[in-house]
Structure 1
Amino acid sequence: MSYTLFLAPALLLAPANPNGAPAPIELTDHTDEVFSLVFSPDGKRLASASKDRTVRLWDAATGDAGAVLKGNTSDALRVAFAPDGKTVACAGADGHVHVWEVASGKAVLAFKAHANWACGLAYSSDGKLLATAGADKTAAVWDAATGERRVTFTGHPAEVWAVAFAPDGKTVASAGKDKAIRLWSAATAEERQSLTGHGGEVFTLAFRDANTLLSCSGDKSACVWDLNKGEATARLAGHTAGVFTVALCEGRAFTASDDRSARVWDLATGKQVAALPNHKSGVYAVAVSADGKTVATAGKDRLIRLYPRAK
């Protein structure tokens, strides 16, 4: 089988020798669709969230199964590690957020965040706050230790699918079914900026730095936004169906699409530079470790594909 192996960004992304490169590890323990993936900050663990109502932890180097984290009463939609890697949180279709200790698998916090689907989830860079997005047309910021609500963002006229903290923790971005991206004060909930340009609903947001935001959409593209200019400076176009997830590592953007593929883009040029082999059906999630050497994909076919570290 021919495929592309991801190497560290400094080594670029180049086709591997199919006779010499290791095949991706396939993780098959989930019993239903996998919606979300994230690597721990140190890159040693991978967390996955699934329609089977579980969050699972994996050894990122070997694919060995770790703890199965339970508590969701419905689909586990979005998963996030705290910046210190000690806890992992999940937002679910029952509107709740659950938090577990990574080392022990012990549940440490659960709170009702939204009236129905809690679709987006993000930690602030200091780990003290959690942001959520919901199908109840709101986003919110919470105390990550207690689950106490800090502020609520009301302005989207439809379901909110995505939320992200700016690196300094002072700004929250949200987006969803109304196609618009809104930026808010994390302290006061004042709306600071609105970005428009996508032709479909927006599913995921990711800050590259304080002034650059990436978004992915049902319009089959991902956009790079210059927040100082208030406009999109690049559109990553090439997928043939909606793009569900965008993840970042240095100068690369990783996207996952309902067209069964995950692709990699050079942010300097906006050009596609690599692709992973297709899943059997839509790819909902892609994640890349902080060092850029390990990539994971997952989706509707229930499989997680883990691409091993380059030797």
Structure 2
Amino acid sequence: MLIRLGIDLGTSTTVAVLAGADGGVRNLLFDASPLLSSAVFAGPGSGLLTGQDAERAASGYPAGLEANPKRRIDDGMVWLGDGEYAIAELLAAVLGRVAAEARRVSGAVPGSVILTHPASWQRTRLGILTDAAERAGLGEVGLVPEPVAAAAYFATAGDVLPGRCLVIYDLGAGTFDVSVVRRTVEGFDVISAAGLPDVGGLDLDAAIVAHARSLTAERTDGWGRLDWPRTSEDEQARRALWASARAAKERLTRHATADVHVPLVGADLHLTREEFDRAVRPLLERTAKLTVEVLRQTAVAPDEIGGVLLVGGASRVPLAATLLHRTLRIAPTIVDQPELVVAEGSLIAPLLRTLAAAPAAARVSAAGVTPGGPAVPAAALVNAAEPAGAVDMLDGATPAAGTDDARPDAGPRGGARATDPRRRIAIAVVLLLAVGVGAVALYRLLNRPDAELVYELRDHTSSVESVAFSPDGTKLASASVDKTVRVYDAATGRPLGAPIAGNSEVYTVAFSPNGKIIASAGEDSRIHLWDAETHQPWKLAKMTGAGGTAPFAGHGHRISAVAFSSDDTVASIDYAGEVRLWSIENGEQIGAPFPAPPERFAASRPAIAFCPGDSTRFVASGPIEEPQFWTTSPRKVTPGTGGHTGAVDGVAYTPDCRYAVSAGADNTVRIWDATTFHPRQMTLSGQTGGVDSVAVSRDGRTIASGGTDSTIRLWSVETGDQTGLIDLGGLATGALAFSPVDAKIFASANSGRGGTVRLWRIR
């Protein structure tokens, strides 16, 4: 197979990937980094320097530096130092550096070169780009729009069916671009694109510099030298300031604080994430607004969107994902190194068309390959190599640890669809011949899970017993027996504030309907209310006056679950199965307790769920074989008729309250008619251990179930068929919750050892 080179020539940095003859893919390194500065320097007798060489040389001769030649694409000629240069010559210098490194690493001239470009570029700009490639000795190159390359990269991680759209949110160093691409049989087509030339990572750096200036504005002499450097010392100080601002921005994507050094001014400033978010919010709000405008202009409906993909180094800023999630009500997909996505995708995009033209046997949906859908070429893997015994792997043998996790955003393996081994081997041969797919990549395609892991949180130090989304889907809360409740940004997994302490062991957590209150309960048999923003105890509107008794106190056993009704009533159920209703105003009990059912099974963790939109109806589970359907007016209970053969440990309603779903210790899930209280005929079976938790998606179509067999299973509400499987590798599932705004997003928590919370996206 030919050596292939993919290049993403960026405004601030350039990235290149090389696919070798063995199918393995590697990022080319420049000065030990995959990011090559796109800067070009022209000085007396130096020729054209690129990368760090150019930046270092500019310290003594700033007039010779063009930091962002791609931004000058329309200028034709650029004056640097003492001479004038064609813009194609500057771009050729960067591409030539890439070509030289590719030849050094591979020992040969690449047989195929792909260059990416903004979707809005037309014939003139593309002509300059191809001219630059020819000057760099790359010869004839293929061109791929950047959003198409990004979409192709993400298509290797999940099904994107023909007709579905992807939103590509590309926040690079110098510019912001948003594109909507539609999956076709042959690949991806750009159906709309727009951009902001004045919003990028450099502008976020500028916001930090402006913030530093506002805190030291009285030191005019130092700022004058930084703004208008005259000496080499001044120029070096200016570069150090902007390097410090960039480093602070990058640190704040992972930590709550960062330091900024302001040379010449003599200040070392402490910058918090909150201060940074305030400074950059106006810029990032413009990106979210433009994204919505592009979607409106293209008339793409929300249910047509298969994903929102964040690429570009500056998209790491947590506020970008948060604002986008709140605006679109769709959780964006983020990877560890978003600046590498376009380069890797550039080698994948052409192969999608190749696969579309391959024999039909290469696109058999029963093997997990959607007709007309994407293959997973070796270019999608980092350092993937074709192992010995690849056919044995396809025939069901377990691969060596790590072989399916080459991509940093890859989730746990699981959910392979059953197919005849001979058929799978035949498909493998066809794919290998058709597009040169490596065996490891093919194995991942045929055995990929039915949901991709968006992120994983390991902050708790003990078993996580409950997870809950806020009503607007922007926050995710988790409760643990480590005596804390933690709250995260649901889009990014970034912690929001300090952990909520002051609990005993916590078994349950829930948000109020307006999202302002978090309720938690557990070992101490009381409900605790917390302010969802400050994480301080919630002050009741009316203090309880029943003989000075503590609010929300009355249960005689540990509380296993709490739930809010649509009118803010709080319901709680304890380990005996007794239910109590509470006023959120004063913490006093409303009416008498709802009695516990007769105990028939000792091992049970009761659950409770209100009918959405109807505060008078709720369903509860307990140490008996069927759920209990309650109404508060009139006060009445109706046990389900028939069903499980063991205790019921989890319950949930569909959004329209037509059905209730129950999880049983008998390893099954049942769907109940919420009007007749009879179970539907089909039994959702297949789990090999007790089912502890169930959740229903916001569109009422999908059930997620989990328990002691270390799997999460997805089911169709309509047919009862299993539609997905996730293997958790030995971890039991203690809790599940679907996003209230995205039917494909759900969270899971493991009970037992560790304290892991995961966010999943259904494929």
TM-score, normalising length: structure 2: 0.38
Q: Name the aligned partner's letter for residue 202 of structure 1.
A: V
Return the alpha-carbon distance in structure 1 between the equivalents of residues 736 and 158 of structure 2: 14
Alignment of 1:1-311 (within 5 A): 19=380, 22-23=409-410, 24=453, 25-67=455-497, 68-73=499-504, 75-108=505-538, 111-126=552-567, 128-151=568-591, 152-158=593-599, 161-167=606-612, 168-187=614-633, 189-208=635-654, 209-233=656-680, 234-249=682-697, 250=699, 251-290=701-740, 291-299=742-750, 300=752, 301-307=754-760
**For the Cα contact (< 8 Å) 1:113–1:132, is it kept in 2?**
no
**For the Cα contact (< 8 Å) 1:4–1:276, is it kept in 2?**
no
Query: Which region of structure 1 is more displaced relative to structure 2, 175-184 or 4-13?
Result: 4-13
**Cα deviation per residue 1:98-133 (whole Å; 9 max; x = unaligned)?**
11111111111662241121012111023x201111
Q: CA deviation at 1:253?
A: 0.4
- More contact order relative to length (CA 8 Å, sep ≥ 6): 1
Q: CA deviation at 1:204?
A: 1.4
1:78–1:273: structure 2 CA closer, same or farther, 3 Å change rule?
A: same
Query: Which region of structure 1 is more displaced relative to structure 2, 63-72 or 248-257?
Result: 63-72
1:136–1:193: structure 2 CA closer, same or farther, 3 Å change rule?
A: closer
Return the alpha-carbon distance in structure 1 between the equivalents of residues 731 and 582 of structure 2: 35
**For the Cα contact (< 8 Å) 1:181–1:196, is it kept in 2?**
no
Return the alpha-carbon distance in structure 1 between the equivalents of residues 490 and 496 of structure 2: 10
Return the alpha-carbon distance in structure 2 between the equivalents of residues 157 and 225 of structure 1: 21
Q: Name the aligned partner's letter for residue 749 of structure 2.
A: A
Q: CA deviation at 1:160?
A: 6.7
Return the alpha-carbon distance in structure 2 between the equivalents of residues 138 and 56 of structure 1: 27
Q: CA deviation at 1:33?
A: 0.5
Task: Give the number of aligned pairs.
Answer: 306
Residue 704 of structure 2 aligns to a residue in which SS?
A: strand
Q: CA deviation at 1:203?
A: 1.1
**For the Cα contact (< 8 Å) 1:218–1:244, is it kept in 2?**
yes
1:136–1:185: structure 2 CA closer, same or farther, 3 Å change rule?
A: same
Return the alpha-carbon distance in structure 1 between the equivalents of residues 671 and 715 of structure 2: 11
1:102–1:52: structure 2 CA closer, same or farther, 3 Å change rule?
A: same
**For the Cα contact (< 8 Å) 1:295–1:307, is it kept in 2?**
yes
Q: CA deviation at 1:218?
A: 0.7
Higher helix share: 2
Which segments of 5 or more consecutive residues in structure 1 lack a partner in the other structure? none
TM-score, normalising length: structure 1: 0.88
Identity within the alignment, %: 30
Residue 286 of structure 2: aligned partner: none
1:309–1:273: structure 2 CA closer, same or farther, 3 Å change rule?
A: closer
Q: CA deviation at 1:6?
A: 9.7
**For the Cα contact (< 8 Å) 2:650–2:663, is it kept in 1?**
yes
Q: Name the aligned partner's letter for residue 589 of structure 2.
A: R
Question: Greater Rg, structure 1 or structure 2?
Answer: 2
Return the alpha-carbon distance in structure 2 between the equivalents of residues 219 and 147 of structure 1: 37
Return the alpha-carbon distance in structure 2 between the equivalents of residues 12 and 215 of structure 1: 30
1:177–1:64: structure 2 CA closer, same or farther, 3 Å change rule?
A: same
Higher strand share: 1
Q: Name the aligned partner's letter for residue 280 of structure 1.
A: G
Return the alpha-carbon distance in structure 1 between the equivalents of residues 565 and 538 of structure 2: 18
Residue 199 of structure 1 aligns to a residue in which SS?
A: coil
1:267–1:34: structure 2 CA closer, same or farther, 3 Å change rule?
A: same
Q: CA deviation at 1:10?
A: 6.8
Q: CA deviation at 1:211?
A: 3.1
Return the alpha-carbon distance in structure 2 between the equivalents of residues 165 and 105 of structure 1: 25
Residue 238 of structure 2: aligned partner: none
Return the alpha-carbon distance in structure 1 between the equivalents of residues 510 and 729 of structure 2: 23
- Cα RMSD (Å): 2.8
Query: Which region of structure 1 is more displaced relative to structure 2, 16-25 or 167-176?
Result: 16-25
Return the alpha-carbon distance in structure 1 between the equivalents of residues 733 and 553 of structure 2: 28
**For the Cα contact (< 8 Å) 2:576–2:622, is it kept in 1?**
no
1:215–1:180: structure 2 CA closer, same or farther, 3 Å change rule?
A: same
